[in-house]
Amino acid sequence: MTHTYNELRKTYTEFVYKSFDIQETECEIKITFNFEITGLSSFAPTWTMPKKSDRNFKDDRSFNELVFALGMTELISYWKISCPPTVKVLCGKLDESQIRFFKKLYFSGLGEFFYKNSIQAEIDDFMDIVSLGEEFKGDFHPVSESRKALIAIGGGKDSIVSLQVLRENKDNNFCFIINPRGATLNSAYTAGYSDDRIISFNRTLDKNMLELNKKGFLNGHTPFSAIVAFSSVIAAYMNDIKYVVLSNEASANESTVKNSDVNHQYSKSFEFEKDFHKYVLLFTDSNVYYFSLLRPMSELQIAGYFSKFPKFHKVFRSCNAGSKEDKWCAGCSKCLFVSIILSPFLSTERLTEIFGKNLLDESTMEGYFSQLIGLVDEKPFECVGSIREVNTALVMTIKKLEGKGERLPFLLMKYRKSALFKEFSQRKNIYESYYNKENLIPDYFKDLLIRECYNGKEDLK
């Protein structure tokens, strides 16, 4: 049985963020969040975090503020089950600006969820957050000023590019991974990081949520990158690391559905980055600085840079369908996109080695191909580049293959005859020298990026 948004909101009117429990030992912290949809179910998701300091974090005010905020971000995965109109927060105190931050995060981060479930929601009335808790007490212990950097690793090409760009700072760098798997660990190991430089958090979902999803309660995409943001700041705070480095690029700002604000990558966008950066500054007293190193770059630049490091080509993975088995499924839109964006820079043989087949020669991928090049109003609901970048990459690849006298694979042969090929063949390629000045990169890290990816051009600073 499938339930409807309006029906569920009338039946289950209240979501409660009851508390969070911190269990602390000499070597580990376990956090349990306690949520409840009144009249339906309770939920107790957990996080487990390694502890290397002899400090007592349980009574640390900044730590509690950060954990509380992580819970505020976690709760949206459980709220969406029935979308209660009222959210009561019984632990921690929120002022009006914090409430606005979380409401904006929820509403924008659930854009895909609302769209796919045909939900007509407005930011002013989809949720009322009522703060009933008290302020946390205790001392603040802001992190030290240094060049220590915590690089979030997802296993794909983007975080690998950040690892390579910052290799000069390697003695100060650490890697951050949530629920380690083959690609994330192998990316760090291949970049030369040992286990003592890798900080891994383990996150569990409550089984009650999964059971309710099976029973037809609402389900869909939530802003996972916001969870990465808060948890990575916690990891940095616990380990006295000043900087948290993400690898979100400029194309994450593009909406997924044409002429709308629906963006699968909202919590990777610069808008979220600015909001989150400000939240950490104003409400945590942690002194942790969060930014995306690759924000100035296009997907094409990232792919071109990544292509220069063959040692990573066998270990990187960014396919969600194959993530549990640590493989490329070679049948989804994400696999096709990665193949396209790398195709101007890697040979057909190398791409076939990576994915197990030449995805540009697969007629079964035509539907995804049409989405990626913009023939339909929806891009794939995946972390993929902009429509213009995809078209530019295809033109580059066709010209490369024709210049070598190689046969065009099925999808490229079809694209070669299209109006899009003619259009983008005549357009100037702006992406290979692209630089987005809307970024929050500190000067030291910006210098490394410009030196490594822009030949040290002084006018970009």
Q: Are residues 89 and 181 in the same domain?
A: yes
Q: Are residues 276 and 340 in the same domain?
A: no
Count of CB atoms situated within 10 Å of the CB of 350: 15
The single-letter code of the amino acid at 196 is D
What φ, ψ does residue 210 adopt, rounded to 5°?
A: -65, -35
Q: Are residues 269 and 402 in the same domain?
A: no
Q: Are residues 177 and 251 in the same domain?
A: yes
Residue 12 confidence (pLDDT):
97
The domain total for the chain is 2
- Per DSSP, 84 falls in state -
Q: Are residues 267 and 330 in the same domain?
A: no
d(CA 347, CA 353): 10
330 belongs to a structural domain: yes
Residue 368 confidence (pLDDT):
97
Q: Please return the burial class of 376, using the count of CB atoms within 10 Å of its CB with bins 0-12, 13-18 and 19+.
A: exposed
21 belongs to a structural domain: yes
Q: Are residues 278 and 331 in the same domain?
A: no
Q: Are residues 243 and 277 in the same domain?
A: yes
In angstroms, the Cα distances linking 210 to 87, 116, 396 are 21, 19, 44
Q: Are residues 107 and 146 in the same domain?
A: yes
433 belongs to a structural domain: no
Q: Are residues 143 and 211 in the same domain?
A: yes
Q: Are residues 52 and 178 in the same domain?
A: yes
Residue 44 confidence (pLDDT):
98
158 belongs to a structural domain: yes
Range of the domain at 67: 5-292
Helix runs in 145-298, H state only: 157-165, 182-190, 207-214, 224-238, 270-283
- Give me the residues paired with residue 29 across strands: 24, 49
d(CA 362, CA 360): 6
Q: Are residues 288 and 321 in the same domain?
A: no
244 belongs to a structural domain: yes
360 belongs to a structural domain: yes
What's the predicted TM-score (pTM) here? Answer: 0.96
Encoded tokens for 153:
């690793």
SS3 100: helix
116 belongs to a structural domain: yes
pLDDT in tens, the chain (461 residues): 567 999 999 999 999 999 999 999 999 999 999 999 999 999 999 999 999 988 999 999 999 999 999 999 999 999 999 999 999 999 999 999 999 999 999 999 999 999 999 999 999 999 999 999 999 988 889 999 999 999 999 999 999 999 999 999 999 999 999 999 999 999 999 999 999 999 999 999 999 999 999 999 999 999 999 999 999 999 999 999 999 999 999 888 888 888 888 888 999 999 999 999 999 999 999 999 999 999 999 999 999 999 999 999 999 999 988 888 899 999 999 999 999 999 999 999 999 999 999 999 999 999 999 999 999 999 989 989 999 999 999 999 999 999 999 999 999 999 999 999 999 999 999 888 899 999 999 999 999 999 999 987 766 76
Q: Are residues 203 and 265 in the same domain?
A: yes
